[in-house]
Amino acid sequence: MTRSSRIVVALALVPALGGYKCIKYDAPIVAPDGGTVISSPDDAGTPGSDGSAGVDAGFVPATACMHANTAQIIVQNFEYDIACGCAESSGMKCTVPVGTTVAWIFADSEEHNVTSVAGSFGMSPDTLSGQFQYQFTTAGTFGYGCSIHGAAMAGYSVVAE
C-alpha cells in the first residue's frame, strides 16, 4: 500500500471513529418518582395548564431557550454547564420561575447522571447521551450532582422562584 493510499484510508476512518459521540438528544429517559417529568420540551405544554403554578411572565433568562418555560444544562467535561433558560448565563446555580422544565442534556464520552441531593426530584440513569428533564412545580432550592463522580461534580442547584 502506498503512502497516499494509507492517508486516504486513515482519513476515511476518522468519521467512523468519531461516530461514537453521535448523540440522540430526544431519547426519553425513564423518570424517577416525584414531580412532573417529561420526555421532551415539546411535551411540557403550558405551565399552569395542569394545575401547577404558571411561569412568571416577567422573568427574562440570561440566554433564552428555543422553547418557552424551559432551561437546558449540558452535562460534559465533569461539569453541568448552563446553555439557556436560567437567570444566570453560567455558574453552579440556575434560577428559574416555578413551572419551568429543566433539561440536563448528556453530551460526553464519560458516563454521568443527575442526582437530587435531598431526593426531591430523584435521579437520572447513568448515561452517555439523551436527556433527563424535570418540571419544578414548587418554589425552593434543589441541589444536585453526579453520584458517579462525587465531589468532582457536586454543589450545583436549581432555584425555582
**What's the CATH code of the domain at 152?**
2.60.40.420
The span from the CA of 39 to the CA of 105, in Å, is 12
**Does residue 14 form part of some domain?**
no
Helices H / strands E in the chain, number of each = 1, 8
The total of structural domains in the chain comes to 1
> Max Cα separation, the chain?
70
**Does residue 84 form part of some domain?**
yes
Residue linked to cell 454521568 = 112
Structural domain harbouring 135 = 21-160
* 113-133 pLDDT, tens digit each: 999 998 889 889 998 889 999
Query: Model-level pTM?
Result: 0.67
* Mean of pLDDT over the chain: 76
**Does residue 5 form part of some domain?**
no
Reference 94, options 136, 47, 147, 50; nearest CA is: 136
